[in-house]
Amino acid sequence: MKTFKELREALTAQQRIKRSISSRKVAKKAAIKRARSMKKPPSNEKVMKAVKRAVRQKALRIVDKAGVYKTASVGVKMGIEKKADLKVKKIGAKWEKRLKPEIKKAMKDAYRSRMGKNNPEL
């Protein structure tokens, strides 16, 4: 994972200017799309993506007992991620089954709190 300083050094001044201009152009459209998607209830695809992320995070937490992942070098991170992948392959299905109802409920509650009482879909 690159730090901001490394990312900034990798781009030239011209590239940074070009990136900022393109980001500014797309920002309004992205904000509108984000607002529209927040008004829709969570779909099964979104729930499954969230479940997969949660399973991956759980595997990383278990494998990285010392908590060095965030500050580790690339080689150490690769080793930790390989172990996490093995965990996900072995026990991932069981974790998905356990975590899906919790995550689905949390997403539904977040949607309800965003929409309030005046939403007809609730």
pLDDT of residue 120: 58
Low-confidence stretches of the chain (pLDDT < 70) are: 1-9, 117-122
pLDDT of residue 26: 95
HEC sequence for the chain? CCCHHHHHHHCCHHHHHHHHHHHHHHHHHHHHHHHHHHCCCCCHHHHHHHHHHHHHHHHHHHHCCCCCCCCCCHHHHHHHHHHHHHHHHHHHHHHHHHHHHHHHHHHHHHHHHHHCCCCCCC
pLDDT tens figures, 42-53: 999 999 999 999
pLDDT tens figures, 108-117: 999 999 888 6
